[in-house]
Amino acid sequence: MAARERRAVRGIGGRLAGWLLALAVAVSVSPAVAALRVAPTHAAVIQRYSGDDGLPQNGVNALLQRRDGHLWVATHGGLAQFDGRRFKVFRAHQEVRPATENAATGSGPSSDRILALHEDRRGRLWIGTQDAGISLYEDGVFRSLAACRGICQASAFVEGADGSLWVASSDGVLGIDMATLRERAPLRGETVRYDLLAQTRDGTIYAGGFNGLAVVAGDRLDPVALPDGSRHVVVLKATGDDLWVATDTDLFRFEPASGRWHLWERRRVNNLIEDAHGRLWLGTLDGQLLHEDGAGVPQPVEGLPPMFMVSLLFDDHGNLWIGSHNKGLFRLREPWIGLMADPQAAMNRPARAVADDAAGDLWFALSCSGLRRWRADGRIETVPLRAAIGSECAETLARDRAGGIWVGTSDGFLGRIRPGADTVEPVASWPAGPSIRAIHETAEGDFWVAVARSTVVLERDAAGGGGAGRPVAALEGMAANQIVAAHSGGLWVVSDQGVVRIDGERILERWTPAQGLSSRFARAVYEDRAGVLWVGTYGGGLNRIRGGKVDRYNRGNGLFDDTVSCILADDEGRLWFGGNRGVSLLSAVAADGRSIETVGFTVGDGLIPAEINGGTQGACHRDAHGRLWFALVEGFAMVDPARVRERVAPAPQALIERVAIAGHDQPLAGPLQLDAASQNLEIGYTAVDLSAPERTHFRFRLSGVNDDWIDAGRNQTIVYPSIPWGQHLFEVQARSEGGPWSSPPATLPIHRPMPWYQRPWVWLLATLLSLLLVVDGTRSDATARRSRPARLRGSAGGSPGNDSPGSDG
C-alpha cells in the first residue's frame, strides 16, 4: 500500500511512533568535508523480565493493567501481579471442585494455564484458563465458576454495552450473567470455536478464529465474509468504529458500516496494538516488532530479540509491554534523551565540548577526532584541524561575543572560526604542548585562556593571533577548567585549588576547603538569579554558597552523584547537573538548606552511555533553543528540559499490601483489631510505578504514636513493637522523585481495646478494695490492742490469780 494511502488511512502526527527512527542519510562527500544529514537518535529503553526476576513462566499469554495500576501477567505457570518492583505469584488451588457451583478456590485460580484476563466495571478480575474454565478474583478471593462445566478453554473476554460478559470458549461464544455469574446458552450459528473477541464503539461484538469472522446478532453468530478468499482470523482488534483483521497472509482494516475492506499490509501479523496517537505497532510472524513512522510506513524496532509476540499492552505511562511465547516479558520505555553518536559521522568517539555560533550551528569537539559542525538544516560536516592549527585533539570550545567559535586542543594549540567561516585559523600555541581547558572573552574583549597550570590573557589587540599571552600571576599553579563572568564583577575561575573571583590581578573572593568548600577539586560554578553560588566538585559533591555560608550536598543528603562536572540552568531557572552517573535535575532544596532532592536520569532514560566527560569548559552547553547538551564518554546527549515534566511521574498511589502480627499475616479488609497480647505489628506498603519504581519514596505516620510524617525513603516496611491502647490511624503516602505526595494517603484503622483489667474503673475499684482491706485490718488491730491488757493483767508480776506484791490481801 502506498505511503500516501497509508497517511489517508492513519493520519500524520504523534511522537511515540518516532521512538526508534534514526534520521541519518548520506547527502554528499567531498575530499575535505564529509556531509551527512543527521538528527539525535532515540534508542528504545528495553527491560526484560524472566523467571529469574520472579515471573512464574517465560510464556506470557495475556497482559492487563488494573485500575489500581498493577500489571497482571497470565502465563502457563500461574498468574502474577507486578508493581514495578516484584512479581506476586498466584498458583492454582489443586483441589477439584464440582462444576455445578461457583466455588472458592483459595489462594489461586482454578488452573495455572491462563490465557485471558479482563477487569469488569465493578473491578472484578476475570481469568480465562486453558483447561479449567473461568475463575473470578474479587476482594482477595478466587472463585472457580461453573460456566462451561469448569473444564473448557476460555481464551477471550468482552464486556457488552448492556453489562453482560461474553466469553470465547471451546464450548462456543458464551454469555455470562454478571449478577448471578451463571452461563447463558451458547450463541447459535457456527459451531467451530472462536478464540478472539472485539467490540466496536457502537457496542457491536465480533468473534474471530479458525472459522473466520462473525458478528453477534441477538442470540446468533452471523458470519462475515473475509476478503480475497481468506478463511482464518489470526488477529482481531477494534479501534473506534473499525476493526483490524489479520488473516494468515494479510492485514486489513474493515469498516463495518460500509462493509468495505482495506488492505493495509501484505505481511503475516500475529498481534497488533494502537498507541495513544493512533499509530499501529505490529508483531509479525517472523518475530519482528514494527511501528508506523511519520509517513505511516512500518519500521522495525531495534534492540529486541526475534520472538513470537503473544500479547501487547500500553500502560498508563505510555510504556509498551510485550509478552512473548517463550522469552519472557519486555518493557519498552519511550526514549526522550537524544543521542548524537552516529558512527557514519564518526560521532561515536569520546566527546569533549559543544558550542553554538551566531548562525545557530552547533560545533562538537571530539577527542583527537577534530570538529563536527551540525548545521541548522541537519547536515553535519567534519572540519579538519591539523592543517590549520597543528592538532586534531580538540579539548574545549567557546563562543566569542561576535558569534565565532574558539578551539583549544589538548596539546596546546588555540584557533578560532570567525562567524560565517568554514575554516579554522591559528591564534596561539604553547610549545610544551599543555592542555587548553577553558577559554573566556571578557567584556573588554580580552581572552582568558587556561593552559595547563597557568591562565594567560590575550589582550584584544593581540587576540588576532601570534601572541602567547600574559600569565595571570595570582592564578599560577592552578589548573583551571572553567572561567565565567561574575555577577558582582570580575571573573570566577574554577580549578583544582577551589574557586576564586578575580578582577585583573586581584583576588576578591576565594572558596576552598579552608572556607568550607567540600573539596578543592572544583569542576563547575553557577550563579543563580538570587545571587547564590553553586559549585560542583569532582567526588566532593555540590556546594551552595549564600551569605558567606556553605551548604554541602552529597549522595547522603539528596545529591544524585557526588561528581558534578557541570551545572546548567534551563529557561525556568532549574539547575541540571552532569556527572559520572548521568544527568540530574535539582527539584527541591529543604527550607533549612540541609538537604536537597535531585532526580537522576541514566541508561534507563536513554542516556547511553550515562557518564559525562567533564573537566573542560564547554563539556555541557545550553543552545539557542534551550536544549541542554552533554559530552559523553561516547558521543553527545541532548536533553529537552520542556519534556522533563512528562518524565517526573504523577504521584503513584500508595497501597497497603501486608499486615502481620508477630509474623502472622492478617486480613486486609476492614480495621485491624489487636488484642492485649499483640506485639510486633508489621505493615508493608507499596506504590505501583511501572516506569521507574526505583524513584518512588514513601512517608508514613500513626496517630497517637508519631503524628508527624516520617520520611521512609525507599523502605517499604515499618514495624511497631507495641501499639498503645485506643483507636489509631496508620497513613502512608508515596511520590516519585521531584513530584508531589499522593493524595489521599492509604490508610489502615487500628483498634487496640484496653483489656478490662487495665480500665480506669477496674483500677479505681481495686484501689478502693485495697483501701477497705487496709481500713478493716487497721480496725481489727485496734480492737486486738484494746482487748489484750485485760486478758494479760494477772500475768504482769506472777502467775495468774496471785495477788500482786505489796497488797494488803
Q: What is the DSSP string of 35-68?
A: EEE---B---EEEEE-GGGT-S-S-EEEEEE-TT
Short-list 53, 75, 55, CA closest to 63: 75
Find the mean pLDDT for residues 673-694. Answer: 91
- Which letter does DSSP use for residue 91 in this model? -
The verdict on whether omega for the bond into residue 744 sits within 30 degrees of 0, i.e. cis, is: yes
Residue 760: pLDDT band with limits 50, 70, 90: low
Is residue 695 helix, strand or coil? Answer: helix
What is the model's pLDDT at position 626?
94
pLDDT tens digits, 483-496: 999 999 999 999 99
pLDDT level of residue 43 (50, 70, 90 thresholds): confident
Percent of the chain with pLDDT over 70: 85
User: What's the mean pLDDT when you consider all of the chain?
Assistant: 86
Residues with Cβ within 8 Å of residue 707, at least 6 apart in sequence: 701
**Does 83 score more than 70 pLDDT?**
yes
Q: Provide the pLDDT for residue 30.
A: 32
Least confident of 40-49, 248-257, 628-637: 40-49
- Predicted pLDDT at 190: 64
Q: How far apart are CA 518 and CA 522, in angstroms?
A: 9
Residue 521 in this model has a pLDDT that exceeds 50? yes
- CA separation for the pair 358, 261 (Å, rounded): 54
Under the phi-then-psi rule, with left for phi > 0, alpha for psi from -120 to 50, and beta for the rest, what region is 259? Answer: left
Share of the chain above pLDDT 90, in %: 63
The cell for 169 is 470458549
CA-CA distances (angstroms) from residue 213 to 216, 219, 578? 10, 16, 56
Q: Are 56 and 87 in contact (CB under 8 A)?
A: yes
- The 3-class SS string of 265-283 reads ECCCEEEEEECCCCCEEEE
Residue among 615, 637, 640 at smallest CA distance from 626:
640
pLDDT band at 35 (very low <50, low <70, confident <90, very high): low
How far are the Cα atoms of 120, 223, 235 from residue 194, in angstroms, in the given order? Answer: 21, 12, 12
H/E element, 764? helix 760-792
CA proximity to 152, closest of 194, 188, 95: 194
Q: Give residue 611's pLDDT.
A: 94
Confidence bin at 661 (pLDDT 50/70/90): very high
What is the predicted pLDDT for the residue at 403? 94
pLDDT bin (cut points 50, 70, 90) of residue 257 is very high
Give Rg (Cα) of the chain: 38
Q: pLDDT tens, 318-357? A: 899 999 999 999 999 877 899 999 888 889 999 999 999 9
Query: Edge-to-edge strand order for the sheet containing 620-622?
Result: 338-340, 636-639, 628-631, 620-622
CA distance between the termini of the chain: 151
How far apart are the C-alpha atoms of 699 and 714, rounded to whole Å?
9
Distance CA 63, CA 86 (A): 16
Per-residue pLDDT, averaged over 22-37, amounts to: 38
Burial 779-801 (b: 16+ CB within 10 A, else e): eeeeeeeeeeeeeeeeeeeeeee
Q: What is the pLDDT of residue 781?
A: 62
Return the closest-CA partner of residue 154 out of 175, 127, 177: 127
pLDDT in tens, 409-430: 999 999 999 998 888 999 999 8
Cell of residue 588, nine digits: 527541591
Cell of 182: 451463571
Task: Compute the distance between CA of residue 757 and CA of residue 37 in angstroms, rounded to an integer.
Answer: 85
pLDDT level of residue 779 (50, 70, 90 thresholds): low
- What pLDDT is stored for residue 420 in this prediction? 87
Q: Stretch 5-33: mean pLDDT, rounded?
A: 34
Would the pLDDT of 642 be above 80? yes
Summarize pLDDT for 446-479 with one digit per residue, the tens. 999 999 999 999 987 655 555 668 999 999 999 9
Q: Are 739 and 649 in contact (CB under 8 A)?
A: yes
CA 431 to chain centre: 51
Output the nine-digit C-alpha cell for 586: 535539582
Whether the predicted pLDDT of 34 surpasses 50? no
- Which of 615, 786, 759, 602 shows the shortest CA–CA distance to 694? 602
Residues 6+ apart with CB under 8 A from 123: 66, 67, 138
pLDDT for 182 equals 87
- Residue 792: the pLDDT is 44
In the predicted structure, residue 100 carries a pLDDT above the cut 70: no
Task: Report the pLDDT averaged over residues 625-645.
Answer: 91
* pLDDT, position 537: 97
φ and ψ at 149, to 5 degrees? 65, 10
Q: 148 pLDDT exceeds 70?
A: yes
Would you mind telling me the total number of residues written for the chain in this entry? 809
What does the pLDDT average to over 722-729? 92
- Give the pLDDT confidence score for residue 103 in this predicted structure: 58
Model confidence at 191, pLDDT cuts 50, 70, 90, reads: low
Q: Which of 26-35, 570-579, 680-689 has the lowest mean pLDDT?
A: 26-35
Q: Which residue has better confidence, 179 or 806?
A: 179
